[in-house]
Chain A
Amino acid sequence: MSWDVLLHWMTHAGDGSWEGFKRAVVQLAGEDADVDELIVALRFHLSDLGYVDFFTGGSRRWQVLPPTLVGLAPAGTAILTGGRTPGLQDAFLAAGERLGCVVAIESIDCGPATLRLQGPRPGLAQVATEIGVRFSERYASTLAARIKPLFTKFEEMKDETAPTNWSVRSFDFLSMAMIEGLRRNSACEYSPRYGVSRWYVHTRRGLLRSLPKREAIFVAAMLQGVRLLSFDAGNSSLLARTNAPLPESYARVACLCSGRRPSIDGDALIFPHVPPTIAAFLCVAAGQPAPLTQADAQVSATA
Chain B
Amino acid sequence: MFRTGLRAIVAVLRWASALVTRRGPRPIRSSPDVVHPTRADLPKAALALANVESTLSHRESADVPDAEHPVPRIVSMSNPAGVDSEAAVMLEAPLRACEFETEENCCADQSPLEPLSPEHAPSQDSAVGEESRIELSVLDTAEESLSLRTPDVTMSTEYEVEKRFSAEGPEQLGEAVVPQESVGARDVDALVNAPGTTDSLPKPYELHSEVPLVPEVAPVQETGLATTDGSTSFPALTNDSVAFAESLDHEPLFGTQGTPTEGDGPRTALVDSGRERKPQSSTVPDARNELEEQDARDLGQQEPARTAHPKSSSRPEQRSAGERSRTARMSPDEASRPFGGVVAGTPSPEYALWNKAIVLNSLQMYASGDEVYLTITPRILAGALAEVEGVFLSPEDASTRFINSVSAMYKSRVLPHPEKLQILRRCGEDGLPECAGFLALCVLAAYRMRTEEDLAATAYYRRLEELLGCGMSGGMPRGFDGDDFEAVWLFLCGWLRQEHGRQLAMPRADVGLRRFVALPLTHVPLRQVDIERLPDVFDWAGYEPGERIAIDRMSATLAQWTRARGGFTVAGLEALGDDRRAAVLAQIAHEVECWDGSLTDASGRRTASVEIFLHWERRLPVLSYLPRRPAGFPTTFDDGEHVLDAGQEGWYEPLPMDVGDGIALRDGFSWQSEADNIHFVLRRIAADVIAMAPSEFDGPVSHGSLVFGLPGAVMCTDAVAVRVVQYLESVTGRRCAPVNAPGVPTGWRLIIGVNPIYRVQPPEGLEVLDAAANVEIIPRGGLRLGRRWAWLNSAPPTLIASGVQATEPVLIDEEPVQVDQDGIIQDEGRLTRPGVHVVQVGRIRRRLEILVPELPAGVRDGDKQGARPWSVVALPTGSWTILGARPDEIAHATSGRWGHGSLASCAFEPIWAVSFAGGRGATVRLLRDPVTPPVALERRSPLKALRRAREWADAVYGAHIRRPTFYSGAASTHSRAPLDWIAYVNAAREIKRALRAGRR
Cβ of B431 to closest chain A Cβ, rounded Å: 26
Residue B864 contacts which of A134, A288, A295 (CB distance < 8 angstroms)?
A: A134
B974–A295 CB distance below 8 A: yes
Q: Would you list which residues of chain A between 21 and 36 have a CB under 8 Å from chain B?
A: 23-24, 26-28, 34-36
B855–A85 CB distance below 8 A: yes
Cβ of A300 to closest chain B Cβ, rounded Å: 10
> Is A144 at the interface (CB under 8 A from chain B)?
yes
Residue A60 contacts which of B640, B645, B861 (CB distance < 8 angstroms)?
A: B645
Q: Would you list which residues of chain B between 771 and 806 have a CB under 8 Å from chain A?
A: 781-783, 785-786, 792, 794-795
Give the secondary structure class of B's interface: loop
Interface size class of A (residues with CB under 8 A): 35 or more
A85 to B875 Cα, complex, angstroms:
42
A19–B647 CB distance below 8 A: yes
Q: Would you list which residues of chain A between 131 and 157 have a CB under 8 Å from chain B?
A: 131-138, 141-142, 144-145, 149-152, 154-155
Q: Say which one of A187-195, A239-247, A261-269 lies at the interface with B.
A: A187-195
Cβ of B358 to closest chain A Cβ, rounded Å: 26
Q: Specify the chain A residue showing the minimal Cβ separation from B696.
A: A23
A7 to B900 Cα, complex, angstroms:
39
Cβ of A133 to closest chain B Cβ, rounded Å: 5
A8 to B785 Cα, complex, angstroms:
11
> Is B646 at the interface (CB under 8 A from chain A)?
yes
A20-B647, A59-B645, A195-B644 known; A132 vs B860 contact (CB < 8 Å) = yes
Q: Would you list which residues of chain B between 930 and 985 have a CB under 8 Å from chain A?
A: 967-971, 973-974
Give every chain B residue within 8 A of A26 (Cβ-Cβ).
698
A9, A135, A137, A152 — which one has the most chain B CB atoms within 10 A of its CB? A9
A192–B897 CB distance below 8 A: no
A136 to B865 Cα, complex, angstroms:
8
> Is A276 at the interface (CB under 8 A from chain B)?
yes
> Is B601 at the interface (CB under 8 A from chain A)?
no
> Is A175 at the interface (CB under 8 A from chain B)?
no
> Is B259 at the interface (CB under 8 A from chain A)?
no
Give the secondary structure class of A's interface: helix
Interface size on B, residues (CB 8 A): 68
Contact with A along B846-873 (1 / 0, CB 8 A): 0000011111100111111101011111
Cβ of A159 to closest chain B Cβ, rounded Å: 15
B860–A284 CB distance below 8 A: no
Give every chain B residue within 8 A of A18 (Cβ-Cβ).
645, 647, 653
> Is B648 at the interface (CB under 8 A from chain A)?
yes
Cβ of A190 to closest chain B Cβ, rounded Å: 11
A8-B853, A83-B855, A83-B859 known; A145 vs B641 contact (CB < 8 Å) = no
Give every chain A residue within 8 A of B969 (Cβ-Cβ).
276-277, 293, 295-296
Cβ of B720 to closest chain A Cβ, rounded Å: 26
A149–B653 CB distance below 8 A: no
Residue A27 contacts which of B654, B783, B867, B869 (CB distance < 8 angstroms)?
A: B783
Contact with B along A153-168 (1 / 0, CB 8 A): 0110000000011000
> Is A66 at the interface (CB under 8 A from chain B)?
yes
A235 to B860 Cα, complex, angstroms:
36
B641–A192 CB distance below 8 A: yes
Give every chain A residue within 8 A of B625 (Cβ-Cβ).
194
A285–B869 CB distance below 8 A: no
A152–B896 CB distance below 8 A: yes
Give every chain A residue within 8 A of B654 (Cβ-Cβ).
19
> Is B901 at the interface (CB under 8 A from chain A)?
yes
> Is B658 at the interface (CB under 8 A from chain A)?
yes
A27–B795 CB distance below 8 A: yes
A67 to B864 Cα, complex, angstroms:
12
A125-B865, A128-B862 known; A86 vs B795 contact (CB < 8 Å) = no
Q: Specify the chain B residue showing the minimal Cβ separation from A24.
A: B783
Q: List 24 A-B contacts (CB under 8 A).
A: A8-B794, A9-B785, A12-B792, A12-B851, A17-B646, A26-B698, A27-B781, A27-B782, A36-B617, A67-B860, A85-B853, A128-B862, A138-B870, A144-B905, A192-B641, A194-B642, A222-B899, A276-B969, A277-B872, A283-B900, A287-B898, A289-B901, A290-B901, A298-B971
Other than the known A12-B851, A151-B896, A195-B642, what 15 A-B pairs have Cβ atoms closer than 8 Å? A14-B856, A17-B647, A20-B648, A24-B783, A27-B795, A64-B856, A83-B856, A85-B852, A86-B853, A138-B870, A149-B903, A194-B641, A281-B903, A295-B968, A299-B967
- Name B residues whose Cβ lies closer than 8 Å to a Cβ of A: 617-618, 625, 635, 638, 640-648, 653-656, 658, 697-698, 781-783, 785-786, 792, 794-795, 851-856, 859-865, 867, 869-876, 896-903, 905, 927, 967-971, 973-974
- Name A residues whose Cβ lies closer than 8 Å to a Cβ of B: 5-6, 8-9, 11-14, 17-20, 23-24, 26-28, 34-36, 59-60, 64, 66-67, 82-88, 125, 128-129, 131-138, 141-142, 144-145, 149-152, 154-155, 164-165, 192-196, 222-223, 276-278, 280-281, 283-285, 287-290, 293-296, 298-299
Which 6 A-B residue pairs are closest in the complex by CB-CB distance?
A195-B643, A151-B898, A145-B905, A145-B870, A280-B874, A151-B899
